[in-house]
A and B are shown apart, each in its own frame.
Chain A
Amino acid sequence: MASLHPTIVLGGGFVGLLTVLNLSHQTYPHPILLVEPRDRFIFKPLLYELLTGEMHPKQICPAYTELLANRQVSFIQDRVQAIDLQQRQVTLSSGRFLSYSNLVLALGSHTTYFNTPGAAAYSFPFTSDDEAIALRNQLQNCLRRARETPNLEEKMGLLTVAIVGAGPAGVELACTLADILPVWYDQLGGDYEDLRIVLVNRSGEILKGDINNRLRTTAQHSLMQRTIPIELLLEAAVNEIRTDGIAYQQQGMNHFLSAATIAWTAGTEPNSLLKTLAVAPEHRNRRGQIQVKSTLQLLDYPEVFMGGDGAYVAEAPQPATAQVAYQQGQAIAHNLLAIAAGRSPSPSQINLRGTLMKLGIGEGVANLFNRIELKGELGHLIRQATYLELLPTPAHNFKNTTEWFTDSLFQRHQPRSLNANHYRRTPLLAGMTAAMVSALIALPLAWRAAQPQTFQETLSWTGVPALLDRWTPRQQ
């Protein structure tokens, strides 16, 4: 009876989506159901590009209907309310019950505030497109208010942005904001030197304990090199977030940092639904992740697979990055296909190819295979190209890669309301025209040098050869 039930994938992040895409591509014999509360996939590593507008929202958040078009996958837009592993049943918020033959848990993670008072209410997390847009609106609103207020103290607060957490997300967000805010504020006629960005971190160093920690020196240098140098507030324990700033403790002393915008990138925790699963406490770690076998199956439920932020393999722990989730999705699909064909599932092979970070607008760093570090514009290009190639479907990534490349090449992104006195760019048409005119000046001169006699005879009626001869000694 169980085989009549579908394979259900809970969560449409990298793991879930890559699982269903790989299954549908390989003609999986069972029905496939993808359950996800949102109607769009979010490509989280490129959320900074959504905040700044460097990339089109459709490129970063494609609709599931578009991604799953012409595939044997049913998409249910709903929230999971309960999972009964013993009964092999999932309950959705709509009240619908779904029975499964195989289950894939790819529920992802959400922001955690570590019970910091006021953090959930007054800070801005940065994990989804809605949150990125909310942060952007808040920042632009603060800049506008700062231009209007006559109160100097209020102005300073409005122009200060605090980012809590100096992990990769905090560092990337700080670098991005330090480049974009001066441009936005300058457009409003403000003095960009008044802006302040403070990166607040509990430990004494940035990127501590992260896979990106090899890039610490480069990241630190980059933080200082932005249009607005980023202030580091290290060994600062945040006690409370208020509407007007952060109360924190540093070296036993209480301090207050006035800031109208507080971004929270201090941590995430696995989906709270995982706490309700019938899994023994010894198979969970301190973060609340659930232990899985190397085949990504739950220890006591071999029909259930799990990947992404909520799972860990005790013998080979992996960082919570897009490239790991991407490969786990492929591995789960491979094992589901093996089970359907009557074969045994095989251990997942995760290959880390290095790390990538955005370090400002048009700047990044790529650490390839932990050996080669490429930074600046080259690092940015590698990061962008790598992430675009990770986009879920070949058609989608080809389309977006082409769009991004042509946008960059032809500088399609033009500022709409920039003051022409402030910014002067190299317009492609004007630049090419100048190059053509210069070439047109050079060509007859080269012709004269190569074939003086022919040049003389052909163009004598114009008077140009006589004019040039007057400037130079006679040709030999």
Chain B
Amino acid sequence: MNSLRNFNISLRQAMLINRLTMGIFFFVSGIANYLNFNVKDGFYQTVLTLKLQLWGPFPAGWEGIGPLPAIIAVPYAWLLPGAEIILGALFALGFWVRWTGLLLILLTFSIVLAFGIIPAGSLFPNAAESFNKNILFMTSIWMCVAYETNSKRNRMRRTAQCLPQNLMEDIEEIK
């Protein structure tokens, strides 16, 4: 009980767990999208037929905008799972977090656009998603990116990367 009360809540660890969770989620999601690419109602068919409905079928009977023209939908469908796999792995492993994070946010945003913010068209749905949870993924990734960019320790790390190995030797050389 005492150790629970004195449990040290580390922002760094929280962000690490958040980043790992997000990265692994996208990595697995990319694999799953390729595995289920051609099945009925699978990823490919969804991208080719889905219509944009930010607020579900509202007003009643409205089916939405689209679907995307094939010239955009086909490359998007083929490249998106690959991007999820590569960016998810890099993000989870902590490589170029700012840039991979921003790309993942863009990627997620495109999915949000496709599936809508309130897919069920109502806040009180029956067995349908009332709020697109991908938005929460975007905010979580954004937190990881912000932590990477703004924390003092990370700022110092980036500063250190700009420093030379042999400043003293360089100066001695010129003197």
Contact = CB atoms under 8 A, between A and B. Distances in A.
Contacts of A314: none
Contacts of B5: none
Interface stretch (A74-82, A394-402, A416-424): A416-424
A474 B78 CA distance: 19
A365 to B, nearest CB: 18
B36 interface: yes
A182 interface: yes
Contacts of B86: 435, 438-439, 442
Contacts of B93: 434
A430 B95 CA distance: 8
For chain A, give the interface size range.
35 or more
A424 B94 CA distance: 10
Interface string A443-476: 0011011101000000000000000100111111
Contact of B160 (A61, A183, A431, A442): A183
A152 interface: no
Interface in B146-171: 152-153, 155-167, 170-171
Interface string A290-305: 0000000000000000
A57 B85 contact: no
Given A227-B155, A437-B89, A446-B81, A423 B174 contact: no
Contact of B163 (A61, A192, A413, A422): A413
Best-surrounded residue of B157, B164, B166 (most CB of chain A within 10 A): B164
Interface stretch (B37-45, B55-63, B117-125): B37-45
B76 interface: no
A287 interface: no
A448 B34 contact: yes
A183 B157 CA distance: 8
B158 to A, nearest CB: 7
Contacts of B166: 416
A449 B174 contact: no
Contact of A192 (B44, B156, B174): B156
A186 B155 CA distance: 13
A476 B88 CA distance: 28
Contact of A418 (B37, B85, B160, B171): B160
B163 A54 contact: yes
A361 to B, nearest CB: 4
B159 A180 contact: yes
Contacts of B85: 438-439, 441-442, 445
Given A182-B152, A183-B163, A472 B95 contact: no
Contacts of B107: none
B70 interface: no
B89 A438 contact: yes
B78 A227 contact: no
Contacts of B101: none
A25 interface: no
A353 interface: no
A86 interface: no
Contacts of A475: 38-39
Contacts of B44: 449
Contacts of A281: none
Contacts of A36: none
Contacts of B40: 476
Contacts of B161: 411, 413-415, 425
Q: How large is the interface on B (under 10, 10 to 19, 20 to 34, 35 or more residues)?
A: 35 or more
A413 B81 contact: no
A211 interface: no
Given A57-B171, A415-B163, A452-B38, A423 B90 contact: no
Given A192-B156, A413-B165, A438-B86, A472 B35 contact: yes
B165 A445 contact: no
Contact of B34 (A133, A418, A422, A446): A446
A192 to B, nearest CB: 7
B149 to A, nearest CB: 10
A476 B82 CA distance: 21
A362 B149 CA distance: 13
A413 B162 contact: yes
B116 interface: no
B145 to A, nearest CB: 14
Given A56-B170, A445-B34, A473-B36, A362 B162 contact: yes
Contacts of A418: 160
Contacts of B153: 422
Contacts of A424: 94, 157
Contacts of B88: 438
A227 B152 contact: yes
Interface in B89-124: 89-90, 93-96
Contact of A473 (B27, B39, B78): B39
A179 interface: yes
A435 B90 contact: yes
Given A183-B159, A424-B157, A435-B90, 17 more contacts: A58-B173, A129-B174, A183-B156, A413-B164, A422-B156, A434-B89, A438-B86, A439-B86, A442-B30, A442-B31, A449-B35, A449-B38, A449-B44, A449-B78, A473-B36, A475-B39, A476-B39
Interface of B: 27, 30-31, 34-40, 44, 78, 81-82, 85-86, 88-90, 93-96, 152-153, 155-167, 170-171, 173-174
29 contacts: A53-B164, A54-B163, A57-B170, A57-B171, A58-B170, A180-B159, A182-B159, A186-B156, A227-B152, A227-B156, A413-B162, A413-B164, A418-B160, A422-B157, A425-B161, A430-B95, A434-B95, A435-B89, A438-B88, A438-B90, A442-B86, A445-B31, A445-B81, A448-B35, A449-B34, A449-B38, A450-B78, A474-B39, A475-B38
